[in-house]
Amino acid sequence: MNKLIFIVLASLLACGEAVEPAADSGQTEVTDTWPDGTPKRTVRIVAGDTVAERQYHPDGALNQAGSYDAEGRRHGKWVAKYPDGAPWSEHTYDHGVQVGAYRTWYPGGIPHIEGEYDAEGRPTGTWKFYGPDGAVARELPGSEIPHQTN
């Protein structure tokens, strides 16, 4: 079970909508496209640095988005969305360290995982894992949740 939890958490660490820079700062560039030419990935560049990234589903709906600090580390709120626009994951980074609330959802908005990271990026408190019916399937202390170190 711990291996499954690690796989789920590791895959979600790559998710990401952040508070982006002001719309008039920098420029947005399309860095990848879908076969029909619609954007698959865009980045916002300010003073030569990538400060934000957005990825899109094939239909153009937002897939994931977030911002970076001056060193290129994730910083601020990141979100990922299902193709219908419903939330898939939401978490926050502080200069590359995952901090604060960590939440994921099943399609349809039912909670999947709820947990918390401390200021050092360590899972803390009680983490809840929900079944597709919304009932708590398992609870684990943060000390038993695998996490990445920077």
Q: Residue 80 pLDDT more than 90?
A: yes
116 is a domain residue: yes
Rounded Cα gap, residues 146 and 10, in angstroms: 9
Provide the percentage of residues in the chain whose pLDDT is more than 90: 75
Residue 44: which residues within 8 A CB-CB, separation 6 or more?
20, 21, 25, 26, 27, 28, 50, 51, 52, 53
| pTM, 2 dp | 0.78
Q: Does some domain include residue 149?
A: no
Q: Give the closest residue to 8 by CA, choosing from 99, 121, 106.
A: 106
pLDDT of residue 26: 81
* Per-residue pLDDT at 12: 38
Number of domains in the chain: 1
Place of tokens 């508070």: 19
Sheet containing 76-81: order of strands: 27-33, 39-46, 49-56, 62-67, 76-81, 87-94, 97-105, 111-117, 123-130, 136-141
CATH number (domain holding residue 60): 3.90.930
The single residue listed with the structure tokens 């960590």 is 102
pLDDT in tens, 28-61: 999 999 999 999 999 999 988 889 999 999 999 9
How confident is the model at residue 149, as a pLDDT?
A: 63
In a domain, 99, yes or no: yes
Residue 93 within any structural domain of the chain: yes
